Amino acid sequence: LAADLVNLQMIDVQDYTRDGEAYVLQTGSPHYVEFVKNLQDKNVFQDGYAIRNNATYEKEGINVNFIEAEGDGYFLRTFERGVEDETYACGTGATAAAMAVALQQNLEGDITIPIRVLGGQLYISFHKKGSHFSEVFLKGPAQFVFEGNYYIFTPIASQANYNSNFQLR
């Protein structure tokens, strides 16, 4: 199956906070972004779980992203709250990570950051002025992978199907 490229507009981000060396940004959901070395060997489940469930973030939860410079871009791995595990790609996480790169490098103006995730190559572009990010776009492959149906059976519907004296009103 060939993947088609899509370009999604993301929300503007007004500001960020720091947690030690990490950046915390709200890109549609909360994200913690930490720059690391040897990301390929990192235990993302263990380390991500520990940060996501620490006292600071335990109540609301937070997505945890680990990023490392790689060639002309970056490599990103994400532990997602709700999933409670590492995922192949997280659009809001890649967006937060790209913004953290711009913050760390003091970049300004129109910026595009290439980020490789386990699910493929992404490009995040935005305009940065100070701590404000606008015109935010996420570009990457999208692929249709599943189609299915599900049926909901309720006691009333089941009874109506099997009892000829039962009437639905």
| CATH assignment at residue 106 | 3.10.310.10
Contact 122, 116 (CB under 8 A): yes
pLDDT in tens, 124-152: 999 999 999 999 999 998 877 778 888 88
The tokens for 51 are 């940060």
Is the residue at 119 inside a domain? yes
Q: In 10 A of CB 57, how many CB atoms?
A: 18
C-alpha span between 105 and 76 (Å, rounded): 17
Question: In the prediction, which pLDDT does 147 show?
Answer: 87
Contact 85, 45 (CB under 8 A): yes
Report whether pLDDT(113) > 80: yes
Looking at per-residue pLDDT, the higher value among 110 and 147 belongs to 110
Is the residue at 167 inside a domain? no
The pTM is what? 0.83
* Number of folded domains that form the chain: 1
Is the residue at 168 inside a domain? no
Instruction: State the amino acid at position 150 in one-letter form.
Output: Y
Contact 24, 7 (CB under 8 A): no
Is the residue at 86 inside a domain? yes
Report whether pLDDT(25) > 50: yes
Is the residue at 42 inside a domain? yes
Is the residue at 79 inside a domain? yes
| Mean pLDDT calculated for residue range 83-104 | 96
The tokens for 125 are 């572009």
Mapping DSSP onto H, E and C, the string for the chain reads CCCEEEEEECCCECCCEEECCEEEEECCCEEEEEECCCHHHCCHHHHHHHHHCCCCCCCCCCEEEEEEEECCEEEEEEEECCCCEEECCCHHHHHHHHHHHHHHCCCCEEEEEEEEECCEEEEEEEEEECCEEEEEEEEEEECCCCCCCCCCCCHHHHHHHHCCCCCCC
Question: In the prediction, which pLDDT does 164 show?
Answer: 53
Range of the domain at 37: 4-162
| Residues 6 or more apart in contact with residue 80 via CB below 8 angstroms | 63, 86, 87, 90, 93
Is the residue at 169 inside a domain? no
